[in-house]
């Protein structure tokens, strides 16, 4: 099936399936959430309302519905609005820092923190240039507080299961962060280390927001931050390891939760595995059961382990977890990083004191490829040798490149791969 035309896709899906007697359809990717919901509606299959999916999926629609009075929010539909004279007063009233992000996006792509009017305008223009303004841009208050994920399992409006995970700070959270610093997750820890009263606020407030959006049943991956939190990330031992610890000075305002976005789906594959190992709850299986409207099995699969880490806790506070789980994501920190075969085994061999406690490890990139932060790497073929370059050298005359000796990339200490590595030490005499 041709899936390139997202506008026609729901009808194409419905036409292809209408004679198949299917019981439900489901997607695990944000790009197809709306199309799948629309196709389910055409086929009259179990699903949450299409209007609810749209409100959650388009961030400006969600913000308009569930926004709070202390949060600035502004939706731009075109980069030309930056120069619109009727908009200038609104721009001048904005208080910084702010977040600029696509109204529709995924993997934190295009999310930028800005500290003044000039960088805000630059960020909007960059999103326009990158083709990320299809649904416009949302400009909103940057909330400085611990970030968290809340994975809700609902049936008929009731919470059957809730997992709250702590997201450690990312580069974009630094006070002096530039607008190009990433907001991609680094480490997620389940269950949360926030106090019980704040977990209760998270549960009640985010549950209300889901109901306000029109959702009644399903699996929801919700991202949020805790405002005026009683805890913050600190390096208490001086070893560069951050953890939640009580703030040194009590907050003047009461704690509150700020909803960042609602994803009407299970977490990503790694997050789904983390929940399964920690609680025994399979979010992916639950999403499949919701798609066929199987309420009885949905309720059964929503049950977590019976242990409570030795304490009586309310739903969302760690009840049912068999241990604490840290989901660590290793970022691509520079362009053209080679992923060798057996990379995970190499890493685990270097940390034997940790590897014994690793439940699962997987690669997001294929072995024997090169990866970059933006997911793009350039490759050309030259005499059957795959060469990936980050720089094209253009000279008027002949170009002399001096390199170190070619070396085969090692699979192990004894075994070579088909890949070669070398370093450029000079170009036309320039070191």
Kindly list the structural domains of the chain, giving each domain's residue range(s) and its CATH number in brackets, ordered by start: 72-127+136-141 (3.30.1490.20), 147-328 (3.30.470.20), 360-427 (no CATH)
φ/ψ of residue 218, rounded to 5 = 130, -170
How far apart CA 206 and CA 380 sit, in angstroms, is 49
* Residue spans of beta strands (DSSP E) within 112-157: 112-114, 137-141, 147-155
Burial call 220-230: b when 16+ CB within 10 Å, e when fewer: bbbbbbbbbbe
Residue 166: Cβ-neighbour burial (10 angstroms; 0-12, 13-18, 19+): buried
Among 97, 294, 316, 92, CA closest to 196 = 316
Residue 330: Cβ-neighbour burial (10 angstroms; 0-12, 13-18, 19+): exposed
Q: CA dist 139 to 111, 191, 228, 312, Å?
A: 10, 31, 21, 41
Q: Is the pLDDT of residue 152 over 60?
A: yes
How far apart CA 107 and CA 16 sit, in angstroms, is 30
Write down the pTM of the prediction.
0.81
Residue 313 is classified by DSSP as -
What is the predicted pLDDT for the residue at 383?
29
- Which of 40-44, 239-243, 325-329 is most confident? 40-44
What is the predicted pLDDT for the residue at 317?
78
Contact 369, 340 (CB under 8 A): no
φ/ψ of residue 152, rounded to 5 = -95, 140
What is the predicted pLDDT for the residue at 154?
98
Contacts 24+ apart (CB under 8 A), 68-73: 68/256, 68/258, 70/141, 71/140, 71/141, 71/143, 71/258, 72/98, 72/139, 72/140, 72/141, 73/138, 73/139, 73/140, 73/141
Tell me: the pLDDT tens digits for 63-103?
Answer: 989 877 788 999 999 999 999 999 999 999 999 999 999 99
Q: How confident is the model at residue 222 (pLDDT cuts 50, 70, 90)?
A: very high
Q: Is the pLDDT of residue 414 over 70?
A: no
Q: How confident is the model at residue 159 (pLDDT cuts 50, 70, 90)?
A: very high
Q: Is the pLDDT of residue 385 over 70?
A: no
Tell me: the pLDDT tens digits for 121-147?
Answer: 999 999 999 888 988 999 999 998 999
Among 141, 135, 154, CA closest to 57 = 135
Average pLDDT, whole number, for the chain? 84
DSSP helix/strand/coil, 212: helix
Among 201, 208, 159, CA closest to 315 = 159
* Residue 251 vs residue 168, higher pLDDT: 168
**Cβ-based neighbour number of residue 340 at 10 Å:** 15
């Amino acid at each position: 099936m041709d899936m390139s035309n997202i506008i026609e896709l729901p009808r194409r899906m419905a036409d292809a399936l209408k004679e198949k007697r299917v019981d439900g359809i489901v997607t695990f990717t944000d790009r197809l959430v709306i199309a799948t919901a629309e196709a389910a509606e055409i086929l009259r299959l179990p699903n949450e309302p299409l209007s609810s999916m749209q409100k959650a999926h388009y961030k400006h629609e969600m913000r308009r519905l569930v926004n709070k009075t202390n949060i600035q929010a502004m939706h731009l539909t075109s980069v030309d609005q930056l120069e619109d004279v009727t908009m200038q007063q609104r721009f001048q009233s904005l208080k910084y820092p702010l977040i600029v992000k696509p109204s529709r996006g995924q993997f934190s792509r295009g999310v930028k923190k800005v500290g003044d009017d000039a960088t805000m305008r630059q960020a909007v223009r960059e999103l326009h240039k990158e083709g990320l303004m299809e649904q416009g841009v949302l400009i909103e208050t940057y909330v400085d507080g611990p970030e968290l994920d809340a994975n809700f399992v609902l049936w008929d409006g009731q919470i059957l299961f809730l997992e709250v995970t702590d997201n450690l700070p990312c580069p974009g959270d630094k006070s002096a962060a530039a607008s190009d610093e990433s907001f991609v997750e680094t480490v997620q820890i389940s269950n949360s280390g926030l106090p019980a009263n704040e977990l209760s606020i998270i549960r009640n407030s985010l549950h209300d927001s889901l109901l306000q959006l029109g959702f009644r049943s399903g699996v929801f991956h919700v991202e949020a931050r805790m405002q005026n939190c009683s805890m913050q990330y600190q390096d208490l031992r001086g070893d560069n390891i951050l953890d939640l610890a009580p703030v040194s000075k009590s907050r003047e305002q009461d704690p509150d939760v700020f909803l960042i976005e609602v994803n009407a789906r299970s977490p990503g594959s790694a997050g789904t595995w983390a929940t399964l190992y920690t609680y025994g709850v399979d979010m992916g299986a639950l999403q499949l059961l919701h798609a066929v409207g199987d309420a009885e099995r949905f309720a059964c699969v929503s049950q977590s382990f019976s242990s409570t880490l030795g304490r009586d806790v309310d739903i969302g506070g760690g009840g049912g977890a068999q241990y604490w789980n840290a989901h660590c994501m290793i970022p691509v920190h520079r362009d053209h990083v080679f992923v060798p075969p057996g990379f995970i085994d190499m890493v685990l061999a270097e940390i034997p004191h940790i590897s014994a406690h690793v439940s699962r490890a997987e690669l997001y990139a294929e072995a024997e490829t090169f990866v970059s932060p933006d997911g793009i790497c350039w490759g050309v073929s030259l005499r059957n040798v795959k060469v990936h370059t980050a720089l094209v050298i253009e000279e008027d005359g002949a170009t002399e490149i001096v390199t170190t000796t070619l070396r085969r990339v090692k699979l192990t200490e004894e075994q070579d791969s088909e890949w070669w590595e070398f370093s450029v030490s000079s170009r036309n005499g320039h070191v």
